[in-house]
Amino acid sequence: MEFLLFLFSVTLGLAKFSHIGAADLEEFIYQKSGKGRFISFCSSSLHPCMVFQDQFSKIASKLPDQEFALVDIMNEEGAQIAANYQLEGYPHIIIYPANAEKYIIYTGSFEPAEIEATFMRMTENIPIFENFADFNSSLSTKCSTDGIVLGVFPKRSPKFKLFMEIANASKHFLPFAYTFSEEIAKILNINDGIVVARPPMLVLNEEERYFYIKNIENIDKVADTIFDNFFGKLSWLNPNTEPILTKKADTIVCLYAEISPRTNPSGTRYVISRFSRAISNFNQKFTYAVAKRNDYTWLLDEIKVFKNNKHLLMIDDMKNMYILNESEMVKNGSLQVEKITEFIQKYIDGTLEPFVLSEEIPDKEVEKGVYKYVGKNIYEKLENAKKDIALFVYSLDCEDCEKVLPMFEKLAELNSEIIFAKIEGTLNRLPEGLQPDSIPAIFYISHNDKANPLIFEYDEDISFSELHKFIKNNRNQKSDL
């Protein structure tokens, strides 16, 4: 199947697709046009790519001096190109800054305004503020989500060059600017240093507004200090900032909410202020953050917790997750501060039960000789088993699984010395070693070697005879149920 790279061209203010072959991809990437190159890996047949593709096209129309392209990842060769970039999950954007051969993977919010703001920063020079009024106007509204990292230098300062290296390398993460203004230096009480002006939306008292960096010698240390202190106590979590925040603390307390700082700033500010009040009394070294629900649809869909939740509080300590649902913390449309506080305190006290992706334990445990396991009991079932287990991992919407189940039930009748069990793989947490790459999947777990389950290998269709042979060859215990 021929791979297509759809190159955006801008006509009458709208971006349209023109097709070029895969052989032209390298030329597109390494062209010496002085333009930035933005490549989206997507497909109109995939959700959420259907919406994103239109957004990407509109952004392209607003930046006619840059080059935009789309790789169709549903095409075999397009999928291989994506694999070469080690991309998983879509959409993705690869950015080659002007005249650069090294690329950046965009990992920020997919809200159109956020993408546009980031693209604009990447295609423009680091701005300069001539006076304090200009600087202050960029932070004038409490609903601003940006903040800014400002270098304040006297002219010909040797530190200026180091700052610009950091700014140009990091402007896809955060907004940067600089000034030589003596007025700004005097008002901010710093000269020859960096002022981290935190996002006003996250600043709830004047003491948190600025953070100062005066020692500018080591680029890596300065960059780390900027990222570690940009947000203060309450951080803004998106895929762009997540790698930074997870380094700050082992435990993240995050409120995922149906908010949009650019399109609904007042509503967003309300949610943040309520959450900030709830966490104000805790001094534990947690990372506290807020996140837009839509930025994490993939995660929250995966753990099946957002079906009826506009807002959701999650504590993730890298071992377990703890979840407070909207129904437990919202009353009459109001976010209940005391419910959030109580939830966090219970975590600190060690009295919270961790979240487990699981269906409810069935009333009828066994049917047609096959046990039904769920996320809540599979660990216990495996640990306590005195016999070998044949485990069928299926999905409710899998047609092949429907064909395999009768075979599995027949084998259960023929092999009473083995425990036959099934588990819905998309609705229940699966133990390590029992997480298949595809469904349907059948595992054989020896009671003498539970740490090393065997998986039934098959090419296309699963046949009864081959499955029977797999069970028979691995059976090592004979007893009755």
pLDDT of residue 126: 93
Top-confidence range, 129-133, 243-247, 297-301, 358-362 = 129-133
Position 148 confidence tier, pLDDT thresholds 50, 70, 90:
very high
Query: Which residue in 203, 217, 138 sits closest to 176, CA to CA?
Result: 138
* Residues 85 and 38 reside in one and the same domain: yes
What type of residue sits at position 295?
Answer: D
* Residues 166 and 204 reside in one and the same domain: yes
**pLDDT of residue 3 exceeding 80:** no
**pLDDT of residue 380 exceeding 80:** yes
Residue 428 sits at φ, ψ, to 5 deg, of: -140, 145
Q: How far apart are CA 377 and CA 375, in angstroms?
A: 6
* Residues 215 and 264 reside in one and the same domain: no
CATH code for position 29: 3.40.30.10
pLDDT of residue 142: 64
* Residues 221 and 242 reside in one and the same domain: no
| pLDDT 10s digits, 417-436 | 999 999 999 888 898 889 88
**pLDDT of residue 352 exceeding 80:** yes
**pLDDT of residue 47 exceeding 50:** yes
Using alpha carbons only, what angle is made at residue 246 by residues 241 and 247, rounded to the nearest 5 degrees? 105
**Cβ neighbours for 113, distance < 8 A, ≥ 6 positions apart:** 262, 263
| pLDDT 10s digits, 188-227 | 999 999 999 998 888 877 778 899 999 888 888 898 888 8
Assigned domain for 480 exists:
no
| pLDDT 10s digits, 49-94 | 766 777 778 888 888 888 888 887 777 787 888 888 888 767 788 8
* Residues 382 and 423 reside in one and the same domain: yes
* Residues 373 and 468 reside in one and the same domain: yes
Cα 30 to Cα 93, 206, 311, distances in angstroms: 17, 47, 44
pLDDT of residue 196: 94
Q: Give the residue from 289, 315, 349 where a domain finishes.
A: 349
pLDDT of residue 8: 43
Q: Which secondary-structure segment (H or E) carries 134?
A: helix 132-137
pLDDT of residue 207: 78
**3-state DSSP of 201-246:** HHCCCHHHCEEEECCCCCHHHHHHHHHHHCCCCEEEECCCCHHHHH
Q: Give the residue from 179, 198, 231 where a domain finishes.
A: 231
Q: How far apart are CA 334 and CA 277, in angstroms?
A: 14
**pLDDT of residue 256 exceeding 70:** yes
Do 147 and 203 contact (CB within 8 A), yes or no?
Answer: no
Of 3-12, 186-195, 230-239, least confident by mean pLDDT is 3-12
| pLDDT 10s digits, 26-46 | 778 877 677 888 888 877 666
pLDDT of residue 299: 64
* Residues 373 and 268 reside in one and the same domain: no
* Residues 220 and 244 reside in one and the same domain: no
The domain of 318 spans 235-349
* Residues 277 and 180 reside in one and the same domain: no
Q: How many CB atoms lie within 10 A of CB 296?
A: 20
Q: What is the mean pLDDT of residues 402-415?
A: 93
| pLDDT 10s digits, 149-165 | 999 999 999 999 999 99
Query: Which residue in 30, 16, 25, 40 sits closest to 77, CA to CA?
Result: 25
pLDDT of residue 248: 64
Assigned domain for 40 exists:
yes
Query: What is the total count of domains within the chain?
Result: 4
Top-confidence range, 32-46, 268-282, 286-300 = 268-282
pLDDT of residue 467: 93
Q: Give the residue from 106, 141, 159 where a domain finishes.
A: 106
Assigned domain for 458 exists:
yes
In terms of residues, how long is the chain? 481
Structure-token pair, residue 398: 């899998």
Query: Which residue in 256, 265, 55 sits closest to 145, CA to CA?
Result: 265
pLDDT of residue 480: 38
* Residues 243 and 208 reside in one and the same domain: no
Q: The whole model's pTM is what?
A: 0.66
**pLDDT of residue 368 exceeding 80:** yes
Whole-number percent of the chain with pLDDT over 70: 86
For 472, half-sphere exposure in the C-beta direction (CA atoms, 13 angstrom radius) is 8
| pLDDT 10s digits, 435-456 | 888 889 999 999 888 989 999 9
